[in-house]
């Protein structure tokens, strides 16, 4: 039965067209890499993970450019990929999204759909940028806000707790005092504060520092704390 199937002769692959696609793909992959480093919000090392994008894009371009010219090569690729096991864990959906963008870019350039692919990738990255920029202005997240003073002899611990409560309450509606530590030398209080705008957090920190210049202020994004 297979003898009657005409797989056809592989069409010639123009080196000039392949080289052009690889150059454009390399530029786009660098743009994706820079975009991920700038707008990515995952806990993992974005610098190291983004270095993989150019390899994915360029390799996909090469594979698709070769395979598209022959049905036999296409079937051989399916058989080869069926025995490959990818065991690298992808812990964040954002990482998977950028991997799909890289693969889609490689597929498009490899299929000689250069202009549609270029326009689509740039449009997708622009949409992601707008979403990320808007998310920075309206974050609506839970923040662990810690205020520490290492010379408690200069302040009244009861008074500073009351004052900080008033400052947070005036700037923000939802907050919860999670921990209060007072020793002979140090004072530390931790709040869980719901922040809707980044300006609100900035105002809280600025007001507390104006009242108590010597305090140390730390905050942790509760939404970015990885689960164990």
Q: What angle do CA 107, 112, 118 make, to 5 degrees?
A: 70
162-187 pLDDT, tens digit per residue, is 888 888 888 765 778 788 888 777 88
* Mean pLDDT to the nearest integer, 10-39: 85
Average pLDDT over all residues of the chain: 76
How does residue 117 score in pLDDT terms, banded at 50, 70 and 90? very high
Residue with tokens 């820079």, as numbered in its chain: 34
- Predicted confidence at residue 28, as pLDDT, reads 94
Give yes or no: residues 155 and 105 share one domain: no
Distances (CA, A) of 37 to 75, 169, 226: 37, 35, 19
Range of the domain at 42: 12-112
pTM of the full structure: 0.55
Contacts of 19 (CB under 8 A, 6+ apart): none
**Is 146 a domain residue?**
yes
State the CATH number of the domain containing residue 191: 3.30.70.360
Give yes or no: residues 175 and 88 share one domain: no
How does residue 57 score in pLDDT terms, banded at 50, 70 and 90? very high
């Amino acid at each position: 039965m297979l003898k009657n199937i005409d797989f056809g002769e592989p069409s010639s692959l123009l080196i000039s067209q392949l080289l052009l696609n690889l150059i454009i793909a390399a530029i786009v992959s660098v743009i994706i890499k820079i975009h991920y480093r700038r707008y990515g919000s995952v806990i993992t090392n974005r610098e190291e993970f983004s270095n993989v994008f150019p390899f994915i894009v360029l390799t996909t371009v090469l594979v698709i450019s070769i395979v598209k010219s022959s049905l036999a090569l296409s079937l051989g690729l399916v058989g080869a990929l069926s025995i490959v096991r990818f065991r690298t864990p992808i812990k964040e959906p954002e990482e998977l999204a950028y991997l799909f963008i890289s693969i889609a870019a490689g597929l498009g350039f490899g299929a000689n759909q250069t202009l549609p692919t270029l326009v689509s990738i740039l449009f997708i990255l622009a949409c992601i940028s707008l979403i990320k920029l808007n998310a920075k202005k309206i974050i609506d997240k839970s923040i662990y806000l810690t205020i520490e003073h290492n010379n408690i002899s200069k302040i009244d611990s009861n008074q500073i707790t009351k004052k900080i409560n008033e400052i947070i309450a005036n700037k923000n509606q939802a907050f919860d005092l999670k921990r209060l530590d007072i020793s002979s030398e140090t004072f530390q209080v931790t709040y869980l504060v719901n922040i809707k705008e980044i300006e609100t957090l900035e105002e809280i920190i600025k007001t507390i520092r104006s009242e108590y210049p010597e305090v140390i202020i730390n905050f942790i994004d509760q939404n970015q704390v990885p689960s164990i």
